Amino acid sequence: MTFDIIDPLFNRYILHNAPVKKLATGFDWAEGPVWFGDHSCLLFSDIPNNRIMRWSPEDGLSVFRADARYANGHTRDRQGRLVSCEHGARRVTRTEADGSITVIADSYDGRPLNSPNDVVVKSDGTIWFTDPHYGIGSDYEGFKAESENPLVVYRADPEAGTLEVVIDDMKAPNGLAFSPDEDLLYVADTGRMYENDPSHIRVYDCGSDGTLSNGRHFHTVDPGKADGFRLDTDGNIWTSAEDGVHCIAPDGRLLGKVLVPEKVSNVCFGGRAKHELYVTATTSLYRVTLNRRGVQWP
Ligand code: MG
């Protein structure tokens, strides 16, 4: 069985004869998928092995960057540049077209960040990222160290050179994504993972000036946690979970699941029409074709 249909509406979004296909395996904790449509390839992290992988339908699997400073989440800015969270260097970077690295943020209030986890770029160019403790909690996904800043969500403005705290009431902010119109920001709090509780996604109203308000509970993922997620063009959230990928309607209802045989960490849309869902799941990369397009740029 590939799909678990909770709400009949889910049938609109899936193709019943589309498999959940394993594309590559051999990783220790695959994370942070990002699609490069202009290169027809996917990049993703293999965090404990300190490398960024590249997969494409034409070329298959290769190492994009070794010694990747234990990179986790990735996205692209509006110029198509790779923006990366690096556990090991405790920073967010941008890879320029010539391959050089620009540091977007590595400290706040004069102290190092914890371990930036996931990142999204708004259409105005601002870079929003979460900074929980997972990359400094052990030597597995980075370098064990003490936390010197609160576990918060930041907004960096590379043009202005500013870094601001935008959410400070979470235990461990993790995945994040904007709604298609950018009126809403969804952020996962996975801070209860050590108590074996399910984790939840919160949603915030986002003003055109970037201010957040009215933070509220959106959905509790069960089983597992919302480590990472992306939205489709209807505003549904496709989130990681213990048993696969869960599809959550904009009103917070669980519509259905894409069942994956390994614990899922994160997803992203890709393919010719952004209708393919790429899934990083523990040791492997999977793909399933959907009957819906993702919010994915470019
Ligand atoms: Mg994450």
Q: How confident is the model at residue 191 (pLDDT cuts 50, 70, 90)?
A: confident
User: Residue 198 pLDDT > 60, yes or no?
Assistant: no
Domain count, the chain: 1
Any domain includes 144: yes
Asked if the structure places residue 262 within a domain, the reply is yes
| Amino acid letter, residue 298 | P
200 CA to middle of ligand 1, Å? 13
Tell me how far the alpha carbon of residue 228 lies from the centroid of ligand 1, in angstroms: 5
Model confidence at 194, in pLDDT bands (50, 70, 90)? low
Q: Which domain holds residue 160?
A: 3-289
Residue 296: band (very low, low, confident or very high) from pLDDT cuts 50, 70, 90:
confident
Q: What is the DSSP letter of 194?
A: G
Give residue-wise pLDDT tens across range 91-135: 999 999 999 999 999 999 999 999 999 999 999 999 999 999 999
Q: How far is the CA of 17 from the centre of ligand 1 (A)?
A: 30
* Nearest in space to 33 (alpha carbons), one of 199, 236, 270, 261: 270
CA 3 to ligand 1 centroid distance, Å: 24
Listed in sequence order, the residues at least 6 apart from 177 whose beta carbon sits closer than 8 Å to its beta carbon are 120, 185, 186, 229, 230, 231, 237, 295
Are 199 and 242 spatial neighbours (Cβ–Cβ below 8 Å)?
no
Q: How far apart are CA 226 and CA 218, in angstroms?
A: 12
| pLDDT score, position 1 | 78
Q: Are 232 and 288 in contact (CB under 8 A)?
A: no
Mean pLDDT over residues 199-222, rounded? 94
Question: Which residues have C-beta under 5 Å from ligand 1, the single-atom ion?
Answer: 117-118, 174, 227-228
Residue 297 belongs to some domain of the structure: no
Rounded Cα–Cα distance for residues 187 and 80 (Å): 23
**Residue 86 CA, ligand 1 centroid: distance in Å:** 12
298 in a domain, yes or no? no
Q: Give domain status of residue 295, yes or no.
A: no
What is the bridge-based pairing of β-strands 229-231 and 237-241?
A: antiparallel
Which residues have CB under 8 Å from 248's CB, separation 6+?
A: 201, 218, 219, 236, 237, 238, 239, 254, 255
Residue 294 lies inside a defined structural domain of this protein? no
The pTM score is 0.96
23-60 pLDDT, tens digit per residue, is 999 999 999 999 999 999 999 999 999 999 999 999 99
Q: How far is the CA of 176 from the centre of ligand 1 (A)?
A: 9
Expressed in angstroms and rounded, the spacing between residue 265 Cα and the centre of ligand 1 is 7
Q: What is the CATH classification number for the domain harbouring 268? A: 2.120.10.30
Q: With pLDDT > 70 as the criterion, what percentage of the chain qualifies?
A: 97
Residue 189 domain-assigned (yes or no):
yes
CA of 288 to the centre of ligand 1 (A): 21
Residue 296 domain flag: no
